[in-house]
């Protein structure tokens, strides 16, 4: 049984790790670096991730590039929920890792760390990170994907299952009010 699972895992993980299609989602200046990463000097296509899908239904990776405000938070959560399994998240830039220059209570409209809303696989601090750093994050994500198994993926889903509620037609977390 273990042999079967491990062979399936190697094939599946090889496929998943080598074709990470990101979602076209950029909220501020890190988005410029993300666009730069797909242009000619850096070329994200070498790793097979140049297929930026506009629809979350076809994307595997959410590169959260830029500051997330409280107004944007439900939208981000909704986009994450719309993505089909298996899905991964890279928190790009200092703002999404822990607030960055907006950390603390002075900057009231900014979510301090995107991991309060969605589960994050790779943190990529810097303000903003250079395209090379984004490639490094993608390569690290590929390593992480190659390590995982179908069974652990299920456990991950169970532990990270989000409890959502609908407020004014927008999906948000149930503990949203307690968090903020």
Partner 1 sequence: MNFLLCKFIELLKNFNIPDSIGILLFLPLPFFVIISFLIITVIFLVLFERKLLGYFTQRKGPNRVGVWGILQTTADAIKLLCKENIELLSADKFLFTLSPLVAFSAIIILWCIIPYNSEFNMINSSVGILIYLIVSSFPMLFHFLAGYSSNNKYSIIGSYRALALTASYSVPVIFIILSIVCITRTMNLNKIVLFQTSYWLIFSNFLGFIIFYISSIAKLNRCPFDLSEAESELVCGYHTEYSGMRFAMFFLGEYAELFVMCMLISILFFGGYLPPFGIYLSNILSGNCSLCRYLIYFEQTFWLIFKTLIIIFSIIWVRATLPRLTQKKVLELFWKYLTPLSIVNLIIIILMRI
- Point out which residues bind partner 1 (CB under 8 A): 11-12, 14-19, 24, 39-40, 43, 45-48, 50-51, 53-55, 57-58, 60, 82, 84-86
CB of 127 to partner 1, least distance (A): 27
CB of 76 to partner 1, least distance (A): 16
Whichever of 48 and 98 has its CB closer to partner 1, that residue is 48
Whichever of 83 and 111 has its CB closer to partner 1, that residue is 83
Residues sharing a CB contact under 8 Å with residue 76, sequence separation 6 or more, in sequence order? 64, 68, 114, 117, 118
CB of 132 to partner 1, least distance (A): 15
CB of 109 to partner 1, least distance (A): 27
Whichever of 126 and 162 has its CB closer to partner 1, that residue is 162
Whichever of 17 and 94 has its CB closer to partner 1, that residue is 17
Q: Is the bond preceding residue 128 a cis peptide, omega within 30 degrees?
A: yes
SS3 at position 159: helix
Whichever of 132 and 175 has its CB closer to partner 1, that residue is 132
CB of 128 to partner 1, least distance (A): 22
SS3 at position 126: coil
**DSSP secondary structure, 79-116, as one string:** HHHHSPSS-EEEEESHHHHH-GGG-SSSSTTB-S-GGG
Extract the tokens encoding 113: 């760390």
Extract the tokens encoding 115: 């991991």
């Amino acid at each position: 049984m273990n042999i079967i699972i491990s062979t399936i895992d190697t094939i599946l993980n090889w496929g998943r790790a080598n074709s990470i299609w990101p979602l076209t989602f950029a909220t501020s200046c890190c988005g410029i670096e993300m666009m730069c990463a797909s242009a000619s000097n850096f070329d994200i296509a070498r790793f097979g991730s140049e297929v930026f899908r506009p629809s979350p239904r076809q994307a595997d990776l959410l590169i959260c590039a830029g500051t997330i405000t409280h107004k944007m938070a439900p939208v981000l959560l909704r986009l994450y929920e719309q993505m089909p399994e298996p899905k991964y998240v890279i928190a790009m830039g200092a703002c999404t890792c822990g607030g960055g220059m907006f950390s603390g209570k002075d900057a009231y409209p900014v979510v301090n760390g995107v991991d309060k809303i969605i589960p994050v696989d790779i943190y990529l601090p810097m303000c903003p990170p250079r395209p090379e750093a984004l490639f490094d994050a993608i390569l690290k994500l590929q390593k992480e994907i190659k390590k995982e198994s179908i069974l652990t993926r299920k456990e991950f889903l169970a532990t990270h299952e989000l409890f959502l509620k609908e407020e004014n037609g927008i999906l948000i977390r149930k503990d949203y009010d307690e968090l903020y």
